[in-house]
Structure 1
Amino acid sequence: MIRLSKQQGVALVIVLLVIAMTTIIATQMSGTLMFQQQRTENLESNQQAYWYAMGAEAFAKSVLYADFQENKKVTHLGQRWALGETRFPVDLGEISGEIFDLQACLNLNALGNEETANNNSSVESPGAKPEDEAREGADESAGGSGGGASEPSDADSDRRTGGSKKNSELAKGALKELIISLEVDGIGNFEAESMVDALVDWLDEDNSIVSAGGAEDDDYASKEYPYLAANSKLASVNELRIIEHFTPQVIIALKPYVCVLPNSDMHKININTLDPEDTKLLQALLGGADEGTAQDILSARPEEGFETIGAFSSLPELANVKNINQLKQQFVIDSDYFKLTTKTSFNGSYFTLNSTFMVTKDELVVVNRSIGAH
């Protein structure tokens, strides 16, 4: 009886162990199943949020195209694309989007014009070249270059995908003035020049520094975590974080005023779409003009923008701006590049899409997409 009782006890323990193991396995399987189910739901929700963003991109493209068809010569803040952030409620979520004119900001890639990189030793005189003067005259008579339905001219192609050495010099001067005007602690004329020179060296294709403030491979290779200069165009404003001399405070202060055009060193600012509430960029573009002059210029804009560059150039507010004949070559009245920032949510999933549009021959094309907040 004692032996039988012991055997029954062992059997009971074994049964309990089997039950416990079965329970543990079942619990783990149940947890894994629930995790996989939740993961699948999250992926489906994220995918739906993505397609909402793509739908918003298509809608924004149609809005831009409609504005473009209505007025192919002038881009201004009175058009539908410039309404600001727009929100659309959807089942279990929301779609929001805002379109920005990428020619209402300073293109950092404009500082790295290839011609400038190959001719650092010679600085062009401020006088306009005959071809530049002819192009300017054509712009004034036609109401601005680019954005039209006809085949882009050589000047239009140059404006979209490349710049001139003169425009590169103007962009460098504008960035320097802009950095100084931000009034970041410890940043003065010398520091601003060094940042500009370091950015030029980062963009140009050679390995020679442009000045004492520049930086090339040797400077970056000597860091604790070494790397090399890109010697190519920027893909994001955030790349400034790894360029010599640029500080987080300066980068944060710069972001509202600068941008990066994909694979383009174009330096053309649409005077019609500059922020009427902030004059710092216009002041920098005008060689450090005072705030009152910049504000008067923005206030003088017609509701539907200047119809020709000539109308802008003839403003009496520009009469006292130094070197205005050269500085005004930075401005146009239409835009070729736009950026859409779309934020979507669906069933607890969130998605942010940044799309860059370019106006080509009678159409708009998406030339760049990036995911996530910048």
Structure 2
Amino acid sequence: MVIKLISCSRNRKGQRGVALITVMLIVALASIIAAQMTTRLQTQMQRSTNISFNQQAYWYALGAEAFTKRVLIKAFKDEQDVTHLEQIWAEEGSNYPVDFGEISGEISDLQSCLNLNALHPKAKTKSESVDNGTGNAAGSSTAKSKTKSTTASSNNSGSRSGSNKQLPAATVLEGLIVNLNIEGIGNFEAEAMVNALTDWLDSNDVITGSGGAEDNDYASREFPYLAANSYLGSVNELRLIEHFTPAVILALTPYVCVLPQNAQHLININTLDAEKPELLQALLDSSLEDAQEILSARDSSGYDDLADFYKLPELTKVKMEKWQKAQFVIDSEFFKLKASARFNNSYFSMSSIMKVSDTQQIQVISRTIGRN
């Protein structure tokens, strides 16, 4: 009888121990689930907050874009036929404080750089640019429409294959690459790069010349792809093209740009950067010293007439052909805004390319999200 009582007592103690452990496991499991739910809720709330902040920063950047349009309208309302570095748009990047953040932006002229898309087969040849009088080759004073200059160069649909030597931009780009004195890059390498870029832009499978590259060259790589056979979308696209090394791209970037779906090759002599004479040197096929002297002779407000530019004593040292004169204009119609906005801890960067069709209408033709 005593043995049975002892056995029952031990069983009850064992059951109570199991029940206690079970309760503790349930409490621990509930605590873990509650902690996970709390963490997920906090993460979701933070994500929603970040999205809201980022969206506000995005709208701040669009506000900078709208403000840029007003700045350009004001600049060209005062001076419709001339674009120069004394106008309000050319001021260095500005910062504007806003509620819980800041907006910054900088406007640059996309006709003070070499348009890489001007190597597209639809671009005008040297003879065509002279025949059509592009860029006031005769040096006459004209107030041409901003829209007309783009239409004339972009709508020339005659495709060409083979040599690109007749394209002014091809000659200029080759000279620019040489002028930058990049280590290991000479005339042969520069020609190869220009030919490879031409093949990347044209729609045929004919190799342009020495160093040219078409689909077969890119398809045989470790990670194969094909040539775009279309306009460039960004200067960064050069990384995909044969012969363009990181050193070359880094050196070229301050001097070149890309006009979306546009083969126009017109350079505004009024907005060329005086600290980057290598581009003018390539445009004129002159010495670096002559290019520096020509830019130094330019007034801060530029030239009201191309004839004044051609009459410069410093320019008499340079023998300019007609196609070289046809490269220059004194007004611009393409501008780029680099805008960034901060709202609380969120940042947003955007680049917008704008086209001035007339003094009252400005169209955003390209918008890139992120730093570029």
Whether the TM-score (by the shorter chain) exceeds 0.5 is: yes
2-side partners of 1:220 and 1:258: how far apart?
Answer: 24
Letter in 2 for 1:333: I
Letter in 2 for 1:13: I
Instruction: After TM superposition, give the deviation of residue 156 of structure 1 in Å.
Output: 5.1
| 1:69-112 Cα deviation digits (max 9, x unpaired) | 11110000001100011001223221110001000000000011
SS at match of 2:348: strand
Q: Is structure 2 residue 229 aligned with structure 1 residue 231? A: yes
Correspondent of 1:218 among 216, 219, 226: 216
C-alpha contact (below 8 Å) 2:233/2:258 kept by paired residues: yes
More displaced, 98-107 or 311-320? 311-320
C-alpha contact (below 8 Å) 1:271/1:332 kept by paired residues: yes
Correspondent of 1:157 among 128, 148, 151: 151
Residue aligning to 2:96: 88
Instruction: After TM superposition, give the deviation of residue 304 of structure 1 in Å.
Output: 1.6
Q: Evaluate the alpha carbon distance shift between residue 156 and residue 198 of structure 1 in structure 2; reply closer, same or farther with a 3 A threshold.
A: closer
Instruction: After TM superposition, give the deviation of residue 185 of structure 1 in Å.
Output: 1.2
C-alpha contact (below 8 Å) 2:193/2:242 kept by paired residues: yes
Mark the structure with the bigger radius of gyration: 2
Residue aligning to 1:141: 141
Aligned residue pairs total: 359
Correspondent of 1:357 among 354, 358, 362: 354
Instruction: After TM superposition, give the deviation of residue 209 of structure 1 in Å.
Output: 0.8
Residue aligning to 1:63: 71
2-side partners of 1:4 and 1:329: how far apart?
Answer: 105
Residue aligning to 2:121: 113
C-alpha contact (below 8 Å) 1:101/1:339 kept by paired residues: yes
Counterparts of 1:184-263 in structure 2, within 5 Å, are: 184-263=182-261
* Ranges in structure 2 where 5+ consecutive residues have no aligned partner: 1-8
Residue aligning to 1:344: 341
Instruction: After TM superposition, give the deviation of residue 326 of structure 1 in Å.
Output: 2.7
Residue aligning to 2:6: none
Q: Is structure 2 residue 54 aligned with structure 1 residue 46? A: yes
C-alpha contact (below 8 Å) 2:121/2:202 kept by paired residues: yes
More displaced, 323-332 or 35-44? 323-332
Correspondent of 1:31 among 31, 39, 58: 39
Letter in 2 for 1:360: S
| 1:40-83 Cα deviation digits (max 9, x unpaired) | 11101100110000001000111011101111100000011000
Correspondent of 1:309 among 290, 306, 310: 306
SS at match of 2:102: strand
Instruction: After TM superposition, give the deviation of residue 243 of structure 1 in Å.
Output: 0.5
More displaced, 85-94 or 259-268? 85-94
Residue aligning to 1:74: 82
Residue aligning to 2:329: 332
Q: Is structure 2 residue 5 aligned with structure 1 residue 5? A: no
Normalised to the residue count of structure 2, the TM-score between the two structures is 0.91
Residue aligning to 1:322: 319
2-side partners of 1:311 and 1:140: how far apart?
Answer: 10
Instruction: After TM superposition, give the deviation of residue 361 of structure 1 in Å.
Output: 3.5
Letter in 2 for 1:202: W
1-side partners of 2:196 and 2:20: how far apart?
Answer: 79
C-alpha contact (below 8 Å) 2:130/2:322 kept by paired residues: no
Q: Evaluate the alpha carbon distance shift between residue 271 and residue 214 of structure 1 in structure 2; reply closer, same or farther with a 3 A threshold.
A: same
Letter in 2 for 1:19: V
* Ranges in structure 1 where 5+ consecutive residues have no aligned partner: 117-123
Instruction: After TM superposition, give the deviation of residue 212 of structure 1 in Å.
Output: 2.3
Residue aligning to 1:132: 133
SS at match of 1:132: coil
